[in-house]
Every structure is written in C-alpha cells, then in structure tokens.
Amino acid sequence: VDDDAFIDAISPWLGDNDGPVGARLTLAIRQAITTGQLSPGSRIPPERVLAAALHVSRPTVSGVIDELRGCGLVSSRQGSGSWISGTGRRNEPTVPFIEMIQASGRIDLAAAAAPDAGGLPPMRVETADLLMAEPANGLNPTGLWPLREVVARRASTFVTGVTGDNVIVTSGAHQALALVVAALAPGGSTVLVEDTTYGGLVDIIRANGCHPVGVDRDDDGVDPEVLADLLRRHKPILTILVASVHSPTGTISSPRRCAEIADVLENAPTVVVLDETYADLEFSPSGRLLSGALADRAIRVGSLSKTLWTGLRTGWIIAPVDTCATITRRRWQQFDLGPSVASQLLALQALDGIDARLVLRRRTLQQKAVWVRDALAAELPDWAPARADGGLAMWIGLPGDGARLAGEAATRGVAVLPGSACRADNAPTNHIRVCFDRPIDVLEAAIERLSDRRSRG
Ligand SMILES: Cc1ncc(COP(=O)(O)O)c(C=O)c1O
C-alpha cells in the first residue's frame, strides 16, 4: 500500500471521540490490521507524512509505532522505515475482542448489549443489607448463597440435581469462561470452539497459552461429523459451545441437530462447556435441548448481561462440586477474591420477577429483529441476514468482505462488528454482526447511513 492507501485504511477507525490522540491512532492501526485492511508487509508512511496527514505531532506518531512494535505488529529497520509485520491472527498478539466493539462516537451496532440500564426494576442496596452478608467480612469466592440458590433453582428447569453448591458467581460470563479455561486447560492444550463463536472466548484461550481450534458450523449449528473428527484428531481438553441461542449467529439448532451433537459429545474424552449467555432470550423458548440432552455431562456458563444489563457484571458457572473447588482455588490465585457483595445483592433483586420481564424483553427484541430484517430487505437487498431465533444481534451475509464493510460503515458513522472477530483464527469472512437492541429511531438512522453509502458507491 502507498501512503494514501495506508491513511485511507486507518481513517475510518479513528472515529471522532475525544480520547487521547495517540491511543486512538494505535487502536485505529490495530483495527485495520485485525480486519485485514493492512496486511503484513504494508509499509507505514514516514512519521512526518503520517503526522502531517493526521494533524498530530511527530512524537505522537513515533510513540504509536513504538507501542505497535512492542506488541509484535510492526517492525522497523534503520533506513527502511517501518512496516506491518503481524496479522493479529492465530496465536500472534491480537486486538482484544473488546476493542473491536468500541464505537468511538459512531452509532453503536457493534456491542451486543442493551443500550442502557432501562430494563432493570427499581433497586437499592443499603449498608444494613451489607451487614447481613455471609461471611460478614464480605470475602466469599463463590458468591452469596441466596444468589447461588436462585441460579440453581432456575437451572433446574433444564438439568436435574443442581444446588447452590454447584454454582460459582462470577463477574459476567466472560470471567466465567476465563476461570474455566484457566483452571482446566493447561498452557499448550487445545480447546475446541465453534467457527464462529464469541470472540472474547478466543482471546481467553490464546491469553491462557492454549490453541483454539474451530469446528465448522452450517445453518443448523455445529457439524456433528466435523466435531467427531476434530475430537479424534486433537483430543481437546475442553470443548466450548455457545448453546441455545448461538453467538454471533443468533440461531438455535434444531432438535435433531442437538441430539446428534449430544451423541458425539456423550462419551468423548473432553470436558464440555456450554456457554448459555443468551439462553433466556430464545424468542420461542425451546427448552435448551442441547443442555438438557447433555445433563450432568456439561459445565454451564450463564450471565445477566444480555437478559438485563451488561453493567451488572453478574454471571455464573454451574459445575460438579469438585470442579467448583478447582476453579475457586484458581480464582483466588489468579483472578480476584470473589464477586462484589453489593452487585450480587442488586442481581438478586433484578432476578426477582425476572421471568415476567423476560417475556416482554423477548417480544420487544423479536419485533426489532423483524423490523431490521424488513428494513434491510428494502434498503440493502443483497445483504442476507441469518434467521434470528433469539438474542439481540443479527448475523448478516454480504456480497463482499465483512471487515471491509465494517471499515466503510465506520466512515458512515456506524460501528458494526466484522465477522472475522468471531472466528477461531480471525480469518476473513463475508459477514458482519449487527446489534438490534436499540431504539427503532437509532436503527433507522444507522440503516439510512449504511444504504446512503451504497447509493453513493
Ligand atoms: C456468547 C457470549 N459469552 C459470553 C459473553 C460475555 O458476557 P458477560 O458480559 O456476561 O461477561 C458474551 C458477551 O458478548 C457472549 O456473547
């Protein structure tokens, strides 16, 4: 790429937020690398050219290049300048998934999360409530017993024999997955995930020094034959599936497919983990068929982030008691001393009467999914949205590369997630993910900007 092409590739990612300019520039270059717009070998314009084009100081540019060199994404040689030397793929240093969903002042359709805390009931926690905590000093790595009991009781609708002793409260499903991987997968081991999957899970596996291997999916979910083959070939210590409503596709596997997958996993020498973060958002609740079929064969991960509000940072692990003990020991060594008592008390209040609120939330989300599908059919008819069976995001097939479209959308002021962020090896894909849990006027403005891009293009 020449200097102009380099600047064109990073400009959409610079956004128009007020953060420190150096940090924004670093992030923009990293995003252009991860999305494949800048590939290894791409020459970085001389510092003075970049500084002039972006209206920043030369020391700022030089600090950014130093930082990128430090994480292995850039190389430099005296007399030859600097060039991109990493892809952010596979087990190379990579852009954290969470950076991929930073909207930087654009309309945010990238983060799969409720836009605000408006879906929560009125709640309060007072010092008198904290004085009731067990133990009284507030240090409890597995969480408050009443909350663990509620989680166990809700789980008993799809798996028998779960009590509060099987539950660990975590700071969201992300930490739950991180705890499971850290406690059960030694560095260097292989972990099977779906291709595609939750991008943060790929980060967790890599950061733990393990290797994510992706299992192909079709429209109905994981391919059971590929799964069986990869289990045989890789002997993965863990197999982690996003069960019920899948992320990022928003689809639910058919009863037949769930039975086939359960059959393959039943006697496989791997620990099965089901990430059920979206399970309470099935538009027509199916009874969590895979979870039910695997019964006590699986560890489960859940969260209030998608059903209620990400800011609660409340999730959980459901596992056999001895596995809970292993995870808890690891938690104390590596992660934290346990969840916040105050947020657990809020979570307990939020869970009171949640089923009625969920009926409403599912209905609203389904209406928004239909609205977006209709709007896309009218405005962007060559986009092919996957059927939305639940959740709050739509997986959309495109005529061209998803990362390229995400870059173009960014210049139009709309943040969408490139599908490559959800692949085990971050390989390119002709997909994006779009969150539809937004007010209709926001969705309308976003689609107008996206289709305006098209008519001009
Ligand atoms: C499938 C899946 N698992 C886990 C998480 C992490 O959720 P939490 O906010 O509970 O940490 C997400 C969030 O995007 C997700 O989509």
pLDDT digits (tens, 9 = 90+) for 370-429: 999 999 999 999 999 999 999 999 999 999 999 889 988 988 999 999 999 999 888 889
pLDDT at position 456 over 80: no
This prediction has a pTM of 0.84
Higher-confidence residue of 8 and 163: namely 163
Q: How confident is the model at residue 123 (pLDDT cuts 50, 70, 90)?
A: very high
Residues 452, 457: Cα–Cα separation, whole Å: 8
Instruction: Return the residue whose CA atom lies nearest to atom 15 of ligand 1.
Output: 198
* Chain position carrying tokens 């037949």: 256
Q: Which two tokens stand for residue 345?
A: 């008390």
Atom in ligand 1 nearest the alpha carbon of residue 310: 9
CA of 323 to the centre of ligand 1 (A): 21
Beta partners for 44? Answer: 82
CB 394 within 8 A of CB 364: no
Q: Which of 193, 197, 198, 392 to mutate to test the pocket of ligand 1 (most atoms within 8 A of CB)?
A: 198
* pLDDT greater than 50 at residue 35: yes
Question: Cα separation of 94 and 31, whole Å?
Answer: 10
The helix or strand, by DSSP H or E, that contains position 415, with its residue range, turns out to be strand 414-415
Ligand 1 atom with least separation from CA of 197: 1
Pick the atom of ligand 1 nearest to 177's CA.
Answer: 4
Taking phi over 0 as left and psi of -120 to 50 as alpha, with beta for the rest, 134 belongs to beta
Cα 231 to ligand 1 centre (Å)? 25
Q: List Cα–Cα distances, 413 to 297, 367, 433, in angstroms.
A: 46, 25, 16
Could you tell me if 279 and 291 are in contact, meaning their C-beta atoms sit under 8 angstroms apart?
yes
What is the residue whose two structure tokens read 């307990």? 348
Beta pairing, strands 431-435 & 221-222? unpaired
Question: Could you identify the atom of ligand 1 that is nearest to the CA of residue 278?
Answer: 1
Tell me, in angstroms, the distance from the centre of ligand 1 to residue 73's CA: 27
Q: Which amino acid would we find at residue 36? A: G
**Is the pLDDT reported for residue 152 higher than 80?**
yes
What would the pLDDT profile of 58-95 be if each residue is shown by its tens digit? 999 998 988 787 666 888 887 888 888 776 555 454 67
Q: Which residue from 171, 181, 277 has its CB within 8 A of the most atoms of ligand 1, so it is best to mutate?
A: 277
Omega before 135 cis (within 30°)?
yes
Provide mean pLDDT across the span 309-333.
Answer: 97
Distance CA 102, CA 420 (A): 16
Ligand 1 pocket test: which of 306, 317, 392, 394 has the largest number of ligand atoms within 8 Å of its C-beta?
A: 306
Q: Which of 360, 341, 438 is nearest to 109 (CA)?
A: 438
Q: Quickly state the pLDDT bin for 241 (edges 50, 70, 90).
A: very high
pLDDT in tens, 170-223: 999 999 999 999 999 999 899 999 999 999 999 999 999 999 999 999 999 999
pLDDT value of position 457: 43
Q: Which residues line ligand 1 (CB under 6 A)?
A: 112, 172-174, 198, 200, 242, 247, 275, 277, 303, 305, 310, 315
Cα 194 to averaged position of ligand 1 atoms, centre (Å): 15
> Phi and psi at residue 316, in whole multiples of 5°?
-160, 165
